[in-house]
Structure 1
């Protein structure tokens, strides 16, 4: 059993086909919108049917705002490490610290040779990769004295100037399968990134053992190496095999890989938009819940301290009103006090228009200070905050979209199309985006209306009635504000000062949406933890 306790993250593995160049970009944008943490792309520079991966990543970085990006994995024999290091650092700086570096020793050697690369034996490939990691890390280490010096068998860099440094500590993840590559991963890398389809039963455990031993011999903690995994499968109503069945089956199998084999990043290989949506909306939240519950139910040492959305405990920004020290937000083993912190309303308002009077909002019953909550209950409450965080991120992307319209980079029609695909614009969101994503995992046999969280809360505690009535009223008001944004986009092309009207409409949306989400969390986090979902 190897659970390294890393926070869980989820990614997409996309094919950079050049037949429809906009499609892979659209899939990457969709992946961000539905909540993926990471988007990765194949890197096969010798493949004429593919877009160049690093050019594609630069374009996608400009079209997204939060999702991390990586090649899966970079073809090192055709990308000189010193130049690659500067490309990675440059894109990391331009994207605000959103680039990671997947590396491979090379494959398809005939195609590599045809493109001018050097054919290497497996042993040579590992040695060349080790030298390349030295070059890359030295280029990034701008605080060291002197130039970059690696006088290797395959890579020779003698005195090149260092820099630039990336915006964050870029992770180097190796696509490794054989013992020499696995040992290099333990000694020098930040992550292990194999594909499940290339592994035999027991390979994950054997690979972990080699990586862990090599890490210890190098004076490292094995937990410093994140375990990532590319997965593929099929969603179906009935299970027919591994990762071939309903979302609940996927969640159970991936949770087992997390708890038994230490995998903390699952990357779905699919170019199907519906697969991406289901993986993000149904599988990822369920895996997080299963793993969090198991970890919290074990020893205190296994408690999770996630740094990414979707985990059990809240992670308020330091300095925010209502933020607590890390120890105060850590979910205890077994039942304990409520550790999920609602996002506070910062009180900032951009618009002079007030859609509602916030002073008339009713409040629910005061929580019982002596009550304790199970990890499962806390996970349910935290998911409400996580989904709201996704809506807040969408709002930030909407502001960016408006600026692109103003700069002439995007036309108003394209902007409307983007807005209509956002979660905040979907007709069903007024029934509870929380219920739309989370309840599908726990009660898939019910209709959306039957499994609505508001009716359940009403039945569980009638004192919540006034709060739920008010929240439903605000849902309808927000729908009207969204319609105003749409009208402003339509008018943009025909009104002299259309940009001012568009910005005003988005400012009003920001005021109403952020105020509403903070109110909903303040009033519903504790009831959801107390009453559960069914």
Structure 2
């Protein structure tokens, strides 16, 4: 696949350019048209005058969103793609035959969080924030609202949490500090906490890193992999509802189908 040539937009889109209400810029494949940055956007928004090469934080987020859209358009095979965005433009580029990998972001600000909801596949909260943090409680609704406005199911945007913590031999009297940040605890406390994060808060995964961003603690990683991860998976599997009974069968109180 040829690499798309990207360049800043030189000005307003040509008159009559097709635009759709859900993604940035516009793109065309035979039988397929996409994008606009905002649901109510039908024309390029006015931009303040600025020196050549200057980019505002808002411009950076817009370019970020266009890039995600373009990556997906140029993947998965199909007819050539023509794309006209404010930041990237390609003309009749043949997509790669393989599907695009899932796109995850570490968005923090409201504008980039909304972009995540519209076009990304997953989100990793910044600053080691977990499912009980204020950052998560105030940020995730922005993603969900933007996803719904773009016609997506908000549950499609998965959340993976990355955070530090120590694994102790004995249970700790408290597993969180005064600010509510996770400190760690015994293997049992870890298992209970992570299982609850999945079942009660919709967590899709976890990444453990060393406290203080220091060198990996091999003992910590070994205990995490051998004691905690398998037990969390087992607990989640046990909590999953049983599969539906085959048509025409009845399920006994012991759970066997007849």
Match in the other structure for 2:118: 187
Unaligned stretches of 5+ residues in structure 2: 6-52, 176-181, 211-215
Match of 2:71 among 93, 118, 136: 136
In structure 2, relative to structure 1, the CA distance for the partners of 1:177 and 1:261 (3 Å cut) is: farther
Q: Is the 8 A contact 2:197 2:203 kept in 1?
A: yes
Which whole-Å CA distance do the structure 1 matches of 2:55 and 2:139 have between them? 23
C-alpha deviation, 1:119, in angstroms: 7.5
Q: In the alignment, does 2:177 pair up with 1:232?
A: no
Local SS of the residue matching 1:266: strand
C-alpha deviation, 1:291, in angstroms: 2.8
Question: For residues 192-230 of structure 1, what are the alpha-carbon distances to aligned partners after superposition, in whole Å with 9 as ceiling and x for unaligned?
Answer: 122462468233233332222211111111121111111
Match in the other structure for 2:199: 259
Q: Is the 8 A contact 2:161 2:206 kept in 1?
A: yes
C-alpha deviation, 1:290, in angstroms: 2.9
C-alpha deviation, 1:171, in angstroms: 0.8
In structure 2, relative to structure 1, the CA distance for the partners of 1:195 and 1:255 (3 Å cut) is: farther
Identify the structure with the greater helix proportion: 1
Local SS of the residue matching 2:74: helix
Match in the other structure for 2:222: 277
Question: For residues 124-154 of structure 1, what are the alpha-carbon distances to aligned partners after superposition, in whole Å with 9 as ceiling and x for unaligned?
Answer: 22111111112211221421x33342332xx
Match in the other structure for 2:233: 288
Q: 4+ residue runs of structure 1 moved beyond 6 angstroms?
A: none
The residue correspondences of 1:362-377 to structure 2 (distance < 5 A) are none
Q: In the alignment, does 2:85 pair up with 1:151?
A: yes
In structure 2, relative to structure 1, the CA distance for the partners of 1:120 and 1:279 (3 Å cut) is: farther
In structure 2, relative to structure 1, the CA distance for the partners of 1:183 and 1:204 (3 Å cut) is: same
Unaligned stretches of 5+ residues in structure 1: 1-80, 84-117, 304-325, 338-368, 371-534
Q: Is the 8 A contact 1:140 1:164 kept in 2?
A: yes
Which whole-Å CA distance do the structure 2 matches of 1:82 and 1:246 have between them? 51
In structure 2, relative to structure 1, the CA distance for the partners of 1:294 and 1:207 (3 Å cut) is: farther
Which whole-Å CA distance do the structure 1 matches of 2:54 and 2:238 have between them? 49
Q: Is the 8 A contact 1:147 1:159 kept in 2?
A: yes
Which whole-Å CA distance do the structure 1 matches of 2:54 and 2:106 have between them? 18
TM-score after normalising by structure 2:
0.62
Which whole-Å CA distance do the structure 1 matches of 2:56 and 2:201 have between them? 30
In structure 2, relative to structure 1, the CA distance for the partners of 1:160 and 1:221 (3 Å cut) is: same
Q: In the alignment, does 2:115 pair up with 1:214?
A: no
| Superposition RMSD in Å | 3.2
Question: For residues 385-416 of structure 1, what are the alpha-carbon distances to aligned partners after superposition, in whole Å with 9 as ceiling and x for unaligned?
Answer: xxxxxxxxxxxxxxxxxxxxxxxxxxxxxxxx
Match in the other structure for 1:223: 155
Match in the other structure for 2:255: 336
C-alpha deviation, 1:121, in angstroms: 4.0
In structure 2, relative to structure 1, the CA distance for the partners of 1:182 and 1:198 (3 Å cut) is: same
Question: For residues 240-296 of structure 1, what are the alpha-carbon distances to aligned partners after superposition, in whole Å with 9 as ceiling and x for unaligned?
Answer: 532422111111111222223211111122423322222122111222233333443
In structure 2, relative to structure 1, the CA distance for the partners of 1:188 and 1:119 (3 Å cut) is: same
Q: Is the 8 A contact 2:123 2:158 kept in 1?
A: yes
The residue correspondences of 1:443-522 to structure 2 (distance < 5 A) are none
| Structure with max Cα Rg | 1
In structure 2, relative to structure 1, the CA distance for the partners of 1:127 and 1:248 (3 Å cut) is: same
Q: Is the 8 A contact 2:187 2:227 kept in 1?
A: yes
Number of equivalences:
190
